[in-house]
Amino acid sequence: MTIRKKLYLNFIISISLVAALIAVIFITSREIVRENRNLAVSREIQQAVSELDILIYEYLLHHEKRAENQWHLRNASLSRWLSAARTFKDDRVLAERLSANAAILENSFKKMVAEHAQRNYLLANRPSPKETESSIMREERWVARLLIASQTMLNDAARLAEKSQAELLKAQTWSRNLTL
């Protein structure tokens, strides 16, 4: 083999290695960007669920229209974040559970608000004690369902954020190991 052929061969090997390194960097950077996006979405979900929980307690304490309106607005934004979470490759089960619990939460909140309005109506019209007690019990059942769904969502949102963080760290480690 002549010196010229050896130089060409070394040049081709060097260019191939550089191209392979660029491809690895490109692929790993895309993976890290995807995992960063997933982490941001999961943290937004966690924050939205926490804020919904706070608004639930605020509504339960004061039964103000403002808290109810804020709850509905925050629930709408949570729905958008949950739609984004359904695209997660690894955490689809948690995202589906969060979506299912969000539907339960929304239904329970609406029913609880309606029961509270019904109870206020009954109290204004001097009902029988049995009607009042029945209304209170129905409202308490909806409150219990609401709080259970809320706590389940808080737990699932925290787990989703932890898994997203772990996936990001795994992608970063994978990237570092491939480029070294």
Q: What is the SS3 string spanning the chain?
A: CCHHHHHHHHHHHHHHHHHHHHHHHHHHHHHHHHHHHHHHHHHHHHHHHHHHHHHHHHHHHHCCHHHHHHHHHHHHHHHHHHHHHCCCCCCHHHHHHHHHHHHHHHHHHHHHHHHHHHHHHHHHCCCCHHHHHHHHHHHHHHHHHHHHHHHHHHHHHHHHHHHHHHHHHHHHHHHHHHHC
**Residue 121: which pLDDT band, with cuts at 50, 70 and 90?**
confident
Summarize the confidence of residues 124-147 as an average pLDDT.
88
Read off the pTM: 0.84
Please give the mean pLDDT across all residues of the chain: 91
Q: Which residue has the higher pLDDT, 67 or 126?
A: 67
The b-or-e profile of 113-127 (16+ CB within 10 A means b, else e) is bebbeebeebeeeee
- With beta carbons less than 8 A apart as the criterion, state whether 66 and 109 touch: no
The single-letter code of the amino acid at 36 is: N
**Residue 109: which pLDDT band, with cuts at 50, 70 and 90?**
very high
Summarize the confidence of residues 138-163 as an average pLDDT.
93
Q: Which domains does the chain have, with CATH numbers?
A: 3-179 (1.20.1440.210)
- With beta carbons less than 8 A apart as the criterion, state whether 168 and 34 touch: no
How many CB atoms neighbour CB 15 within 10 A?
10
In the chain, the percentage of residues whose pLDDT exceeds 90 is: 68
In angstroms, the CA 146 to CA 96 distance is 18
Summarize the confidence of residues 19-36 as an average pLDDT.
91
